[in-house]
Chains A and B, each alone.
Chain A
Amino acid sequence: MSFDEIYNTYWQKIFRLCMGYVNDFDWAQDITQETFLIVWQQLPKFRNEANISTWIFRIASNNCLRQIEKAKRIPKAALPYDVREETTESIEPKLKLLYQFIAELQETDRIIISLELENIKQAEIAAIVGLSEANIRVKIHRIKEKLTIKFKANEQ
């Protein structure tokens, strides 16, 4: 898979994962960009022994975990996003709530649920996170329960 193909296939997915992790539009854009920087650098070293999707999601989620090191947020990405403002404002209230509730979860849970919502198979999530499939299944079940409760509580 060429970098172009990866870029076109995964940009949205990676952005949503990052958004789920940090719940901040600009920050998520920055992490996504950083992730593609790493992908671009490491692509020549990538051997097909692992699934490319697993490989990319691992880099992205690890990069999210690394954000702790950046106590002070670096300023907005230098890239020109023509529709940045529009996209930030047009976010649906329900989606906003979903991000907010995910942001309240533990760090690893945020990654797990983001991958699940991205329709990644649980076996692959297990490979990305480094836990057993059974463990992931239990975690996803609990997280979804938590989210549903939060949505219901918010409704009342």
Chain B
Amino acid sequence: MNSNIDFNELWASQKTAKPNKAALMAELNKYKKTNLIKMIALNLVLVATALFVVYILWSNQAKLLTTKIGAVLIVLAIVIFVIANNKLIVGFKNISGAESNKAYLENLLAVKSKQLFMQTTVMNLYFILLPVGMGLCMYEYARKMTLPGAIFAYTAFVLWIAFNWFYLRPRQIKKQRNLLDGMIHKFQLINDQLIAD
């Protein structure tokens, strides 16, 4: 092999079968449809939860204000979780993908850092709102129990919250943090390649 190996010619020798155009279009349309269904489903969940709040607030089932506040907090926790889970808060909507590699990497890094902060905040918010809401909801029913019964119910509840707060929450946050940290680190390394010289 001589030193003037023609890389361009070698490169151009790679040919691949283009997928059938109709198949590609079918795939594209399927993608469009799936996205639409996902969006509709998410909105349905949100509307349903909102209706649930209205129902709790206006029905006569709950007599005490604490129960109503509790229900609202629980629903709020769920809604926040659903929204965050669907990456609606910090999505990639502002990144078109058609900017230069350098700009793209910088945008991606900014979004990922924001995402890291958001996810931790959302997780904390979720794990605060949910138990507080439940605790408030329980009050009305605990009042009707015997004292030992109420003590037992609240002890179990506190234990459950402690398990959530001290075990589940740190685990979830750590898992997400590790994933994002790893990604941010790799993007940073690639970004550095463009700054190096």
Contact = CB atoms under 8 A, between A and B. Distances in A.
A25 B15 CA distance: 11
B104 A37 contact: no
Contacts, number: 140
Contact of B17 (A33, A69, A83, A107): A83
Nearest to A56: B98
B103 interface: yes
A62 B101 CA distance: 6
Contacts of B23: 79-80
Interface string A35-48: 01110101001100
B93 to A, nearest CB: 12
Given A68-B187, A148-B3, A33 B13 contact: no
Where chain B touches its partner, the secondary structure class is helix
B101 A129 contact: yes
Nearest to A18: B16
B146 interface: no
Interface string B66-95: 000000000000000000000000000000
Contact of B28 (A15, A37, A81, A108): A37
B110 to A, nearest CB: 15
Interface stretch (B4-12, B46-54, B130-138, B165-173): B4-12
Interface residues on B, range: 35 or more
Contacts of B186: 68
A120 B27 CA distance: 30
A16 B97 contact: no
Interface stretch (B120-128, B152-160, B189-197): B189-197
B15 A107 contact: no
B190 A42 contact: no
Interface residues of A, number: 67
Interface in A87-119: 87, 91-92, 94-95, 98, 106-109, 111, 114, 117-119
Given A68-B186, A117-B7, A131-B194, A33 B24 contact: yes
Contact of B183 (A19, A37, A62, A69): A69
Contacts of B190: 65, 68, 106-108
Nearest to A138: B197
B59 interface: no
A42 B96 CA distance: 8
A87 B17 contact: yes
14 contacts: A8-B18, A12-B18, A16-B14, A40-B28, A59-B97, A62-B104, A94-B1, A106-B190, A119-B8, A129-B194, A130-B101, A130-B103, A130-B194, A148-B5
Interface of B: 1, 3, 5, 7-8, 10-21, 23-24, 27-28, 31, 96-105, 108, 183, 186-187, 190, 193-194, 197
Interface of A: 4, 7-8, 11-12, 15-16, 19-20, 25, 29, 33, 36-38, 40, 42, 45-46, 50, 55, 58-59, 61-63, 65-66, 68-69, 77-84, 87, 91-92, 94-95, 98, 106-109, 111, 114, 117-119, 127-131, 135, 138-139, 144, 147-148, 151-152, 155
